[in-house]
Amino acid sequence: MTSATVTANPSLRSELVGARLPAWAPYGSAVASVGLAVLLRWMLEWTGWATTFVAAALLFVVVLTGWSFAVEGRRQAKNRFASTLIYASFLAAIVPLVLILTYIGIKGFSVFSADFFLRSMNGVTSRMEGGGLYHALIGTLQQVAIAAIVALPIGIFTAIYLVEYGRGAFAKTVTFFVDVMTGVPSIVAGLFVYTFLLLGFGMRPFGAAGALALAILMVPVSVRASEEMLKLVPRDLRDASYALGVPKWRTIVKVVLPTAMSGLITSSLLAVARVAGETAPLILLTGYTASINMNPFAGDQATLPMMVWDQLGKRSGTTSNDLTEARAWGAALTLVLLVLILNIGARLLARLAKPKTH
């Protein structure tokens, strides 16, 4: 039986598929819309490129959707419209991030020098050049360390309770309030420590008060993240340990915690990073000083955020000038680098040292 001659005609589309735009349609529309926007700019004599950019974007959406509507039909046109919007929304996240990081990078880097990191602002007025953030860096590191020492054990033990022991009303209440505490604004935590410590006992601002507020903000983050890490430890490990007659507390200390250790370190680093950049509680609690204060329990202590706040003139209600603004940017960039190092370190650790579950 002879086979039916089917002419291999590549231009014959399957009849099951409706008309489709060519694959180069989005690129074609982009070129067309940019061209149209530039034309409009020339014709309407716009200044600057922002309006042209916006016009090109809007024209792209119109051209692609319209073309698709004409060729492919309503459903496909809606699909293309939605896809364009979704791709655009992603750009809307990337663009601010890039803008912010490059802007602060450029502005802050210009003031970086060895002096900037090793000197304090002692004796440097707002009209003088020079000065540094050593005093602020020490303050931030000390206060974050104290906050971590206070908050991380509480967070991890609460997570242990919720995962290993928690059944019943108490555990449900704790879980609910951990969630609620994640939403407490930082200024409210600062206000609480202010009313409790500073007003209640009549104390002057000091560094560790700020650390206490940071600890309050750190605990819920630590609880949630540690809980997730502890839940990753498989039940079999615990059951094997119980089967061998090991008491519960030893199982947790010797089996569960070592297995989840890298995850717990990751969650702790994330909690510290979340809190290291907080400014609001520090305004109320730590004061500011231009000189180095190595004792977080006595007297005003400078921190990176408060140095920015002071250099921008917000602390004393004055205005800022180029010199103070440059220093403020330098301190802000240092803060961003500190937080980014903690964040990226935590993620690298999470990637490299997954919990050993076998």
In this structure, the number of other CB atoms found within 10 A of the CB of residue 339 comes to 16
Is 310:217 a contact under the CB 8 Å cutoff?
no
Q: What is the DSSP string of 100-160?
A: HHHHHHHHHHTT--HHHHH---TT--TTS----SHHHHHHHHHHHHHHHHHHHHHHHHHHH
- Interface with other proteins includes 75 (CB under 8 A)? yes
When the beta carbons of 82 and 294 are compared against other proteins, the nearer one is: 82
Q: Which is nearer to other proteins, 101 or 294 (CB)?
A: 101
Near other proteins in 285-324, by CB under 8 A: 305, 308-309, 312, 314-317
Q: Kindly indicate which of the ranges 19-27, 34-42, 87-95, 115-123 contains the residues binding other proteins, using the contact rule CB under 8 A.
A: 87-95
Q: Check residue 234 for interaction with other proteins (CB under 8 A).
A: no
Please name the helix (run of DSSP H) or strand (run of DSSP E) that holds residue 6, with its range, or none. Answer: none
Which residues from 1-30 bind other proteins, rule CB under 8 A? none
Q: How deeply is 32 buried, as exposed, middle or buried, from its count of CB atoms within 10 A (0-12, 13-18, 19+)?
A: middle
Q: How far is the CB of 199 from other proteins (least distance, A)?
A: 7
In the bound complex, what is the minimum distance in angstroms from residue 358's beta carbon to other proteins? Answer: 23
How far is the C-alpha of 248 from the C-alpha of 231, rounded, in Å? 16
Choosing from 140, 268, 278, 293, the residue that interacts with other proteins (CB under 8 A) is 278
Closest CA to 213 of 233, 235, 191: 191
Tokens representing 124?
A: 């440097």
Q: Is 44 in the site for other proteins (CB under 8 A)?
A: no
Q: How far is the CB of 3 from other proteins (least distance, A)?
A: 31
Give residues 175-204 in contact with other proteins (rule: CB under 8 A).
176-189, 191-192, 195-196, 199-200
* Contact mark string toward other proteins, 246..265, x via CB under 8 A: -xxxx-xx------------
83 binds other proteins per the rule CB under 8 A: yes
